[in-house]
Amino acid sequence: MLQEMGAGLEETAGADGSKRGPLAGTLSEELRLNEDLRLDSVMLLQLLVLIETRLGLQVPENEVDPGIFDTVGSLVDFMQELDDMNAPDPVSGPGVR
């Protein structure tokens, strides 16, 4: 998931890196999205849209807590939770719960 996050951050921040902080070249889970990578609220929304479209994850509005946007790691954890929620039931098959 960290690789997908890196691709999403790269696209959200701009290919030239002009909107990113100095640590953005070395993506780690400890990086803070706002302070270190300088993502503002609009960029975070763009990142959520990328998560939904590129990874096929549904982000329920009632599940979005501001804490998930603290660090790269907190967002990766949230994406993993979404992936687990959207995974097909191995007993019933896809789409049956």
Which CATH number characterizes residue 65's domain? 1.10.1200.10
Establish if 30 belongs to a structural domain.
yes
Count the domains in the chain: 1
In a domain? residue 93: no
- Does the residue 92 lie in any domain? no
pTM of the model: 0.67
Query: Is 81 a member of any domain?
Result: yes
Q: Within a domain: residue 91?
A: no
What is the rounded CA–CA span in Å between residue 90 and residue 14?
39
Containing domain of residue 70, as a range?
Answer: 2-86
In terms of residues, how long is the chain? 97
8 A C-beta contact, residue 20 and residue 14 = yes
CA-to-CA distance for 11 and 96, rounded, in angstroms? 34
In order along its 97 residues, the chain shows pLDDT tens digits of 666 666 666 666 554 445 544 444 567 889 899 998 888 999 988 888 888 888 888 888 887 888 999 998 999 898 888 888 877 666 665 555 4
Residue 80 maps to a domain: yes
